[in-house]
């Protein structure tokens, strides 16, 4: 059973970021030399890049699971962990990358065109980098983030100007072999060609590419023979050439019937509209009557030629084996290709579609949800989610740092506005894998904070001082100062120390 390798589904896992390191500098006589834990390295990305050496997706068909290397953890002595290596996967020119749902992510055309399919996780900061005037010696570090995972579909769409279609053994590969330098496999059994062979043709100063296509048979559109799967290869061609075997002795076959059969199958094939393809039915058609070196075949070809021309088709009688009529054919094809190029019919505008980034990188929002376990408040947003992933929940200081970060972003206010009260259940993080908190508000931002009257501890110690109290406090302070001054004066009088001047 032939296996197609012009479509592959990849399961990608980018590298995890390395964890940051929490370490304290130690030296003789300097027991507390300050934090010196290095940062974790970034995890490797997974990049798909057009490589001219790669012509099929075979490799990915056999090995669909790919993983980039992880970043290394940071170490003491301010040593940062090494970055994970990016994994670059070579793909053939004309590879279209899409999601499982068929959304096109990128259309890679031209050597070197690339697409980052999965991003490596960021490395966690070490305690050296987390130190600040307020937090001089953090006893924690941030965790590295996991690498992205992605499932992408690769499809190969050969970039040929001219595509040869026809029954098996009509001589398509033979034709490619005699008009170009390509050397495809040729044999007298059907379905010799399993993936298209691409050749470059030079004719009268013009160059164009030509590709044969695996043989089509009646019912191909329902999956008979090799089916129509590979027709995606010809979606980008300007000219379709029917190669017709005039020497076949198979019952029920003759040039006109063969042409109708292939046209019917082509009509059943629906090109990928998302790529802006012109329907195959609207492409320029040329008919090649092959094997004219066989006398009966030549006779038959001459006989059906007027019928075909009457249908408005351009007809060439050739022999791939005896090299008959090839020059006229290649010049005619070059002319069609040139006209298409002149009219700038872009069948597939080369483009790279970048995946839209999550909408609110900077912000967050709070969603109130009712679950079987009661009401919860979900904090959604890139940054809160990332911060939670970076937190080592076994370390109180790290958790405190997380609380500070969330607070500065305004998450507490957001929760208040959404109706959260002390003790509410708050979820932060990825939908499936969120971290659950019992909320303890830390900010005093007004009356909303007070749950039931009289139960809030802050009523006692956080109320605003009255003028009376302020005056009393001021007097206390001044009294203390006076006392201190008097003490100094007493010392001076006692001759304990002298003035500088
Ligand atoms: N006599 C004669 N035989 C030919 C000619 N062209 C091709 N053949 C023979 O026809 C057979 C099939 O040729 P291929 O070129 O492999 O045919 P194909 O259309 O690529 O076939 P599939 O790949 O199976 O679809 C081979 O045995 C060729 O030698 C020709 O012009 N004259
Ligand atoms: Mg072939």
Q: How close is the Cα of 170 to the center of ligand 1, in Å? A: 5
The closest ligand to the CA of 172 turns out to be 1
- Whether residue 181 is found in the same domain as residue 323: yes
Angle 415-419-421 from CA coordinates, rounded to 5°: 80
Among all bound ligands, the one having the nearest atom to the CA of 171 is: 1
Residue 142 within a domain: yes
Q: Check whether 476 has a pLDDT greater than 80.
A: no
pLDDT digits (tens, 9 = 90+) for 51-69: 888 877 888 988 999 999 9
- In which band, very low, low, confident or very high, does the pLDDT at 2 lie, cut at 50, 70 and 90? very low
Name the residue with higher pLDDT: 191 or 298: 298
Is residue 38 scored above 90 in pLDDT? yes
378 or 278, which is more confident: 378
Q: What is the pLDDT of residue 437?
A: 82
In this prediction, what percent of the chain has a pLDDT beyond 70?
A: 81
Please state which of the ranges 96-100, 310-314, 372-376 shows the lowest mean pLDDT.
372-376
* Closest-approaching ligand to the CA atom of 320: 1
In this prediction, residues 87-96 reach a mean pLDDT of 90
Q: What pLDDT is recorded for position 205?
A: 83
Residue 391 sits in the same domain as residue 297: no
By C-alpha distance, which of 307, 175, 174, 161 is closest to 238?
161
User: What was the pLDDT predicted at 332?
Assistant: 95
Compute the average pLDDT of residues 213-221: 83
Contact 175, 322 (CB under 8 A): no
For residue 460, what pLDDT is reported? 41
Q: Is residue 407 domain-shared with residue 476, that is, in the same domain?
A: no
Ligand 1 center–CA 248 separation, angstroms: 11
Tokens of 198: 């691409």
Instruction: State which of 135, 156, 177 marks the end of a domain.
Output: 156
pLDDT value at position 453? 42
Q: Using a CB cutoff of 8 Å and minimum separation of 24, what contacts does 345-348 make?
A: 345/238, 345/278, 346/276, 347/235, 347/236, 347/237, 347/238, 347/276, 347/277, 347/278, 348/107, 348/109, 348/157, 348/159, 348/235, 348/236, 348/275, 348/276, 348/277
Give the DSSP per-residue string, 26-73.
-BTTBS---B-PPPPPPPPPEEEEE-TT---SHHHHH--EEEPPPPPP
Please check whether residues 420 and 474 belong to one and the same domain.
no
Give the nearest ligand 1 atom to 215 CA: 25
CATH of the domain at 68: 2.70.210.12
For residue 170, which atom of ligand 1 is closest to its CA?
19
Which residue puts its alpha carbon closest to atom 21 of ligand 1?
169
Q: What is the pLDDT of residue 498?
A: 46
Question: Rounded distance, CA 164 to CA 260, Å?
Answer: 15
Q: Ligand 1, closest atom to CA 177?
A: 15
Q: What is the pLDDT of residues 383-417, one digit of tens each?
A: 898 899 899 988 889 988 998 888 889 888 889 88
Q: Is 454 inside any structural domain?
A: yes
Q: Which of residues 342, 357, 384 is at a domain's end?
A: 342
Over residues 428-439, mean pLDDT: 80
- Pocket-testing residue among 169, 220, 261, 322, ligand 1, by greatest number of atoms within 8 A of Cβ: 169
Please check whether residues 395 and 477 belong to one and the same domain: no
pTM: 0.60
Residue 352 counted as domain residue? no
The residue nearest atom 9 of ligand 1, judged by CA position, is 171
Residues 402 and 297 in one domain: no
Q: Which residue has the tokens 């834990």?
A: 37
In a domain, 432, yes or no: yes
Atom of ligand 1 nearest to the CA of 164: 19
Segment 335-350 mean pLDDT: 70
CATH number at residue 302: 3.40.50.300
Residue 470's pLDDT band (cuts 50, 70, 90): low
Is residue 428 included in any domain, yes or no?
yes
> Is residue 386 domain-shared with residue 417, that is, in the same domain?
yes
Closest approach atom of ligand 1 to CA 186: 16
Asked whether residue 343 carries a pLDDT value surpassing 80, the answer given is no
Domain for residue 262, yes or no? yes
The CATH code of the domain that includes 384 is: 3.30.300.350
Residue nearest to atom 12 of ligand 1 (CA): 169
Taken in order 158, 159, 165, 168, the sign of the CA dihedral is: negative
CB 49 within 8 A of CB 113: yes
7 plus 140 within the same structural domain: yes
* Least confident piece of the model among 126-135, 171-180, 476-485: 476-485
Looking at the CA of residue 174, tell me the nearest atom of ligand 1.
15
- Write the DSSP string, 331-357: HHHHHHHHHHHHTT--SS--B-PPPPP
Mean pLDDT score, 99-107:
85
The residue among 156, 191, 226 that closes a domain is 156
Residues 173 and 254 in one domain: yes
Residues 13-37 pLDDT 10s: 999 999 999 998 877 776 667 899 9
Parent domain of 486 = 468-501
Q: Are 380 and 365 in contact (CB under 8 A)?
A: yes
Q: Are 34 and 25 in contact (CB under 8 A)?
A: yes
- Mean pLDDT within 187-207: 84
265 CA distance to ligand 2 centroid (A)?
Answer: 18
Residues within 6 Å of ligand 1 by CB: 166, 168-174, 186-188, 190-193, 212, 214-215, 247, 290-291, 293-294, 319-321
- Residue 88 — very low, low, confident or very high, per pLDDT cuts 50/70/90? very high
Binding site for Mg(2+): which residues? Answer: 173, 193
Taking the C-alpha atoms of residue 382 and residue 341, their distance in angstroms, rounded to an integer, is 46
Encode pLDDT of 258-308 as tens digits: 999 999 888 887 665 544 456 777 788 999 999 999 999 999 999 999 999
Atom 14 of ligand 1, residue of closest alpha carbon: 171
Same domain, 308 and 410: no
Q: Name the closest-CA residue to atom 7, ligand 1.
A: 171
The per-residue pLDDT of the chain, averaged, comes to: 82
194 and 301 assigned to the same domain: yes
Side by side, the strands of the sheet bearing 374-380 are 365-371, 374-380, 425-428, 435-438
Question: If you measure from the C-alpha of residue 171 to the centroid of ligand 1, how many angstroms do you get, rounded to a whole number?
Answer: 3
Q: How confident is the model at residue 357 (pLDDT cuts 50, 70, 90)?
A: low
Whether 376 is in a domain gets the answer yes
CA distances from residue 393 to 9, 71, 141, 342, 398 in whole angstroms, order as listed? 37, 21, 11, 65, 7
| pLDDT beyond 80 at 487 | no
Q: Are residues 330 and 224 in the same domain?
A: yes
For residues 135 and 177, which has the higher predicted lDDT (pLDDT)?
A: 177
Q: Which residues are annotated as a binding site for GTP?
A: 166-173, 191-195, 212-215, 290-293, 319-321
Statement: residue 423 has pLDDT above 70: yes
Q: Is residue 353 part of a domain?
A: no
Q: What is the pLDDT of residue 483?
A: 72
pLDDT for residue 71 is more than 70: yes
Going by alpha carbons, the residue nearest to atom 24 of ligand 1 is 191
Tally of domains within the chain: 4
Residue 271: the pLDDT is 64
Write the residue with the smallest CA distance to atom 3 of ligand 1.
291
């Amino acid at each position: 059973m032939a296996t197609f390798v012009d479509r592959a589904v990849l399961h990608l896992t980018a590298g995890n970021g390395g964890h940051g390191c929490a370490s304290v500098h130690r030296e003789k006589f300097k027991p507390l030399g300050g934090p010196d834990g290095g940062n974790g390295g970034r995890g490797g990305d997974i990049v798909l890049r057009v490589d001219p050496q790669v012509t099929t997706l075979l490799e990915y068909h056999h090995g669909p699971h790919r993983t980039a290397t992880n970043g290394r953890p940071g170490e003491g002595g301010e040593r940062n962990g090494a970055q994970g290596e990016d994994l670059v996967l070579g793909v053939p020119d004309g590879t279209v990358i899409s999601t499982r749902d068929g959304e096109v992510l990128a259309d890679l055309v031209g050597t070197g065109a690339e697409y980052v399919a999965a991003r490596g996780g960021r490395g966690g900061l070490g305690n050296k980098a987390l130190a600040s005037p307020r937090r001089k010696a953090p006893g924690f570090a941030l965790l590295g983030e996991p690498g992205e995972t992605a499932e992408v579909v690769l499809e190969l769409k050969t970039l040929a100007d001219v595509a040869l279609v026809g029954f098996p053994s009509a001589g398509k590969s033979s034709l490619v072999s005699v008009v170009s330098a390509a050397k495809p496999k040729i044999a007298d059994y059907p379905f010799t060609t399993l993936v298209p062979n691409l050749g470059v043709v030079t004719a009268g100063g013009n160059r164009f590419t030509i590709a044969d296509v695996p043989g089509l048979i009646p019912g191909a559109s329902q999956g008979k023979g090799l089916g129509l799967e590979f027709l995606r290869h010809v979606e980008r061609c300007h000219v379709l050439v029917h190669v017709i075997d005039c020497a076949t002795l198979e019952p029920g076959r003759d040039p006109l019937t063969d042409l109708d059969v292939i046209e019917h199958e082509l009509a059943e094939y629906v090109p990928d509209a998302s790529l802006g393809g012109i329907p195959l039915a609207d492409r320029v058609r040329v008919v090649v009557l092959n094997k004219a070196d066989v006398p009966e075949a030549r006779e038959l070809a001459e006989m059906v030629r007027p019928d075909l021309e009457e249908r408005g088709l351009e007809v060439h009688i050739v022999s791939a084996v005896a090299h008959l009529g090839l020059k006229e054919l290649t010049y005619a094809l070059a002319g069609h290709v040139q006209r298409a190029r002149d009219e700038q019919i872009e069948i597939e505008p080369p483009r790279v579609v970048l995946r839209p980034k999550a909408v609110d990188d900077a912000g967050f929002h709070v969603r109130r949800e009712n679950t079987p376990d009661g009401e919860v408040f979900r904090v959604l947003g890139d940054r809160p989610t990332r911060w939670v992933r970076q937190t080592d929940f076994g370390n109180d200081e790290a958790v405190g740092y997380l609380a500070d970060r969330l607070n500065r972003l305004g998450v507490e206010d957001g929760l208040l506005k959404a109706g959260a009260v002390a003790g509410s259940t708050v979820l932060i993080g990825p939908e499936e894998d969120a971290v659950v908190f019992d909320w303890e508000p830390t900010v005093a931002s007004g009356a909303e904070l007070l749950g039931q009257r009289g139960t809030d501890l802050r009523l006692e110690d956080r109320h605003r001082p009255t003028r009376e109290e302020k005056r009393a406090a001021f007097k206390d302070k001044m009294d203390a100062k006076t006392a201190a001054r008097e003490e100094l004066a007493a010392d001076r009088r006692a001759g304990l120390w002298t003035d500088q001047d």
